[in-house]
Amino acid sequence: MKTLAHKQDSLLIVYDADAIQYPGPFLFSDAYWSERGAVTGEAAGRGSVLLLDTPFGSAVLRQYLRGGKAAKVSRDRYVFSGFEKSRPVMEYSMLERLSGAGLPVPGPLAAMCSRDGVLYRGWILMRMVRDAGPLADLIAERRNDPALWRATGECIRRFHDHGVIHADLNARNILVDGAGEVHLIDFDRARIRKKDSRAFRSNLKRLQRSLHKVWPAGDREQLTACWRSLEEGYGLEVVPA
């Protein structure tokens, strides 16, 4: 991919010039895609996430939105400290780096930071992971499949070996495609820290808590077995006690 930057007034767009010839704010407009009949669905999550059928392939458009108490102050605005430090530009850069390293992440297409004084709003456009669903939605039918859980552990270990610390590793940010390949999504606020075993443990514990929340209440014993399979895939000898 060839990343270029397009500066226009108070906004910056970074984009893959191999996929997108004419960048502009329209790429991040729900109305633009709706008028063209390109919206194929919406994804569950905190914010606005549209599934699109675009001229450059199936894509996902996500606006950066706050959750929790912060949303009461501002739902979609963040403090501006430079375009390069904005969440969409940083996530685009992270996805570019990880996809370039061969890790299973959505390829970045474009990201936009729109400044308004001391605040900004942000969007990111990514390639869709085709024929894939969240791990959380597969529990009912795949919780007796140790191969799935080992593959999940192997996938997470690949990211940790590259020093990747996911900011919100949960059962919905892990996708499994039709071929059984595991992918990670949502790299907002992710960071790279080599050999940070404490952060890696925290990642795994966060995922474990997430699984507890979505797992059938009467089947906790199976959750324990699946988690063991995940740890085996990750590598028991490197999972700190």
Q: Which residues are catalytic?
A: 168
CA dist., res. 169 & res. 162, Å (int):
16
- In this structure, what is the dihedral angle of CA atoms 69, 186, 122, 7, given to the nearest 10 degrees? 160
- Of residues 139, 141, 142, 136, the one with CA closest to residue 169: 136
CA dist., res. 99 & res. 214, Å (int):
29
- Dihedral-angle region of residue 16 (phi above 0 means left; psi in -120 to 50 means alpha; beta otherwise): beta
Rounded to 10°, the helix 197-214/220-234 angle is 150
CA dist., res. 111 & res. 122, Å (int):
8
Residues 6+ apart with CB under 8 A from 137: none
- Of residues 105, 166, 178, 172, the one with CA closest to residue 139: 172
Number of residues assigned to the chain? 241
